[in-house]
Amino acid sequence: QVKLVESGGGLVQAGGSLRLSCVVSGRTLSTYPMGWFRQAPGKEREFVAAISWNGGTTDYADSLKGRITISRDNAKSTVYLQMNSLKPEDTAVYYCAARLYSDPKSAESYYNWGQGTQVTVSS
């Protein structure tokens, strides 16, 4: 059983930065491509970023390109999401997940999710 635990969320002013972390336990992180999604109140869960098992390939939501960077450290069993120039519309719960199927941008490709970490951006 893979367990994912996100951290690093919090309250930040617009224009600020946060780095989210996702620690994976239960199985070797390097086995899985990983992704980050977010869900704002009253909205569907949406794709944020994805990374291949070795970090060689990354994908980003078009609306977030240039402001976010996904990375991973398999030795530390951790996936990161660096977010810069944050906007109030980035307010959401951010989730990491382990990917099982081929489409990195579809939530249905992911089979194991963390509990999420809240990011709140004030204007």
Question: What is the pLDDT, as a whole number, of residue 70?
Answer: 98
Tokens of residue 45, six digits: 């869960």
Question: What is the pLDDT, as a whole number, of residue 111?
Answer: 87
**Rounded distance, CA 9 to CA 95, Å?**
11
pLDDT tens-digit readout, 37-71: 999 999 999 999 999 999 999 999 999 999 999 99
Q: Is residue 26 scored above 90 in pLDDT?
A: no
4, burial (CB in 10 Å: exposed 0-12, middle 13-18, buried 19+): buried
Is the separation of the CB atoms in 17 and 86 below 8 Å? yes
% of the chain exceeding 70 in pLDDT: 99
| pLDDT bracket for residue 110 (50, 70, 90) | very high
| Closest C-alpha among 45, 19, 21 to residue 34 | 21
